[in-house]
Chain A
Amino acid sequence: MAVFVRSALAISPQNTFEEHQIPEQPVIYTDYFQNILPDFKTYFNPIERRRMSRIIKSGAVCAIEAIQQAGIEKPDMIISGTGLGCVEDTEKFLNEVLTSETSMHAPTAFVQSTHNSIGALIAVRYQCHGYNVLYANKTVSFESGLLDALIQFRDKKAEYILLNGFDELTQENYNLKKRAGLFKSERITNLDILSSNSIGSMPGEGTSSFVLTDIQSPDNLVRIDAVEICYSLPDQNDLESWVSAALAKEGLQTSDIDLVVLGNNGDITNDTIYKTLTNNLFPESVHAYYKHLCGDYDTASAFGLWFFAHAMKAQILPDHCILNKKRARMINRVLLYNQDHFKNHALILLSKC
């Protein structure tokens, strides 16, 4: 059984949505990233636009375009992943409750704060009565959804699955996490995150949508061979055995991987894990990263999949993504690996199709 990415859409801090191709020249950000938003007028009427928060509009538009570009009427299933859900709505309702609990509050923010409101909105819009779930599990939220989708195809329960990953960064959330020491304390721009040599990351945001299918087509972007998730591993040796075992399951060796895509986020405590892994297991492969384009957030790996699905299809790899000085003649096999301080390890294995 093979599963393919039929369409992949992303609203991100880069011009990914309007131009619909991987950015050659990254947009530059200082301290944090912000999504470049499309014109929502073509999708929603003024009342809807006013009521819906930024992430709901972005998430819905990504999903709508992914369905459209996949050339299908509607998906059989909708699966989403998010670390924090709809933060702006949550903050809005929380602040109202904490500042004046006894006032009468409009329910809109509360309703929209429920994590699966985007999946529900798409279900209503397209009348999708099928399986519809949302994973909220930190940095493996997206991969958990992808794993679920692969199992659904294996069980022959679906032909087309809409898979979404979304997280938003609000000013309030940024301020809180900055104060808690989660982000870099020094000023930083996105193209310098790897040379910062300090702890903390540079936060970002994004919404990505994919239509996955088990039906062959020249329109498919890439094939997804496997996804593997492991919550925690004892040490670096176990990580290497786990990665090798995941490849072995697919009949592959580490030398079969042309491109290893890593979740480097500029936090030195985090990035050394990637360096040791690639030095030991993938000395001949090209090593690349993407969080200098979208920032660090729970479902950033969805942007990673968007980026490298298109990169593989077009066989283009911009220099700004490459971590070692290697180039590949052909990118046939890609392994994406992301983790968070040696927890929530996740692998996605892609093949050219």
Chain B
Amino acid sequence: MTGCIYITGMGIISAIGDNVTQNLESLRQQKSGIGPIKILQSQFKNDYVAGEVGHTNRQLAKIAGMSTDLEYPRNTLLGIIAVNEAAEQAKFNVSDTIRTGLIAGTTVGGMDKTERFYYHLDKNIDFIQSHSCGSITEQIADHLGIRHYVSTYNTACSSSANAIMFGARLIKQGLLDRAIVGGFDSLSKFTLNGFRSLFILSETPCKPFDKNRTGLNLGEGAAFLVLESEGTLQITGNSPICVLTGYANTNDAFHQTASSENGEGAFLCMNQALKSANLNPDDIDYINLHGTGTVNNDLSEGMALKRLFGHNLPLFSSTKSFTGHTLGAAGAIEAVFSVLSLQNNFIFPSPGFEVPMDPELIPVTRTRSFPGIKNIMSNSFGFGGNETTLIFSN
């Protein structure tokens, strides 16, 4: 067992920017990325808003430095853009002495390419090879030259949070020296129609924890973080941005799609994450909520917050008001936002919040500075009661 898990690099692409700098600027200026759907070819593109990455696949391929002649799944391109940025910051190079793993979370894998060619097999049947979740992670691993360990989680909306947690556990066990962890999820007709069929898609920008919330907005994107052990830092010479101090995974064990009224799974998860970080509830300065903006999630998560923190709730908000719900990528995207908060002493808000659903649960509504911010908790909950909480510390 080795000690701390250090974060030495990160990369992101989301509806609010193609890289870390752009994302940070949008968060600071409270510029939401939720708007009309322009790229996804859905019949419902005019009925809903989403946090879409505003580039065609061809444009994404250019940004990623990939061939624009090949039909990559959108997730491969988003993933490579984010992983390139993270790898560059952490001075990643392929090495046999630093055992490196790539661990990702996703829910749709290569679904967008499958949708394009499922009824046009004569044009391109290759989609069958890039459909699975794991095949996208492998394409990204091959791009980087990772050979030691590659793995993929699909636990719905907590997928990439689980990838981050597992990377940390593998390093702690001494099985890896460095882990590139994160996730990706592109918009697809499959998920848009899926969430529509559940009546939890909002036609207007989502309002997490607001009394008048009407559901979630889907989003897309990718984010990766580089985790290193103390020993690896000495080889790479990286200076850590911050530390991943706690994590936990629990299950709500209530329903395939709904969350329990008392937020049992979420409560257990946050509580266990605190224990794993050796922290008390009042050590947490800010919580990046799961906060999707659905009636059910926000009630359940809110109840869990009240159970755990009582009347001493830390500051909290949901940055899904900026990016939409990026499903399997959400845990990683919000991990990057949490690290940015620690790095820059800022707390990012839930823009658009108006009327509290509960007078005790009022999120941060304006970007505000927080000098000396120390510990941030980030929640990711998913279908099937899959709950994951991560804690990042300065």
Contact = CB atoms under 8 A, between A and B. Distances in A.
Interface in B56-86: none
Interface string A123-160: 11011111111111110110010001001001100000
Contact of A123 (B114, B138, B173, B253): B253
A96 B119 CA distance: 12
Contacts of B137: 137
Contact of A120 (B125, B128, B256): B256
B253 A128 contact: yes
A106 B197 contact: yes
Interface in A149-178: 151, 154-155, 176-177
Given A135-B153, A230-B148, A107 B194 contact: yes
A135 B44 CA distance: 32
A232 to B, nearest CB: 4
B389 interface: no
A136 B194 CA distance: 20
A83 B151 CA distance: 11
A13 to B, nearest CB: 22
B194 A110 contact: yes
Interface string B102-122: 000001010000110011010
Contacts of B288: none
A53 interface: no
A101 interface: yes
Interface size class of B (residues with CB under 8 A): 35 or more
Contact of A231 (B121, B146, B251, B264): B146
A84 B251 contact: no
A124 B150 contact: no
Interface string B192-204: 0110111000000
A96 B193 CA distance: 10
B154 A116 contact: yes
Interface residues of A, number: 61
A111 B256 contact: yes
B251 A132 contact: yes
Interface in B234-256: 249-256
Contact of B193 (A78, A110, A151): A110
Interface in B186-219: 189-190, 193-194, 196-198
Contacts of A117: 256, 383-384
B148 A231 contact: yes
Contact of A229 (B149, B152, B251): B149
Given A114-B383, A124-B253, A151-B169, A140 B151 contact: yes
A180 interface: yes
B21 interface: no
Interface in B135-155: 135, 137-138, 141, 146-155
If over half of B's interface residues share one DSSP class (helix, strand or loop), that class is named, otherwise mixed; here it is: mixed
Given A102-B43, A105-B193, A114-B384, A136 B152 contact: yes
B95 interface: no
Nearest to B165: A133
Interface string B2-15: 00000000000000
Contacts of B253: 123-124, 126-129
Contacts, number: 179
A134 B386 CA distance: 10
A137 B152 contact: yes
B162 interface: yes
A120 B259 CA distance: 12
Interface in A54-98: 78, 83-85, 93-94, 96-98
Contact of B383 (A84, A111, A140, A230): A111
Contacts of A78: 251
B33 interface: no
Nearest to A132: B251
Contacts of A144: 151
A352 B389 CA distance: 39
A278 B246 CA distance: 44
Interface in A211-241: 229-233
B42 interface: yes
A132 to B, nearest CB: 4
B153 A133 contact: yes
B331 interface: no
A94 B154 contact: no
B129 interface: yes
Given A98-B189, A134-B154, A134-B155, A110 B197 contact: yes
B153 A134 contact: yes
Contact of B132 (A94, A112, A133, A136): A136
Contacts of B148: 230-231
B216 to A, nearest CB: 14
Interface in A177-198: 177, 179-180, 182
A101 B41 CA distance: 11
Given A102-B43, A155-B169, 17 more contacts: A84-B132, A107-B194, A107-B257, A111-B257, A116-B155, A121-B256, A124-B254, A129-B251, A129-B252, A133-B166, A134-B153, A135-B153, A136-B134, A137-B152, A151-B170, A176-B125, A179-B121
Interface of A: 78, 83-85, 93-94, 96-98, 101-102, 104-107, 110-117, 119-121, 123-124, 126-138, 140-141, 144, 148, 151, 154-155, 176-177, 179-180, 182, 229-233, 298, 343-344
Interface of B: 42-44, 107, 109, 114-115, 118-119, 121, 125-126, 128-129, 131-135, 137-138, 141, 146-156, 162, 166, 169-170, 173, 175, 189-190, 193-194, 196-198, 249-257, 264-265, 268, 383-386
Of all A-B residue pairs in the complex, the 10 with the closest CB atoms, nearest first, are A120-B384, A110-B194, A137-B134, A107-B197, A136-B133, A115-B154, A138-B134, A231-B150, A132-B251, A136-B154
28 contacts: A94-B114, A102-B43, A104-B197, A105-B196, A110-B194, A110-B198, A111-B198, A111-B383, A112-B256, A117-B256, A123-B252, A124-B254, A124-B385, A128-B251, A129-B268, A130-B251, A132-B249, A132-B251, A136-B132, A136-B133, A137-B137, A138-B138, A140-B151, A151-B173, A180-B125, A229-B151, A230-B149, A231-B147
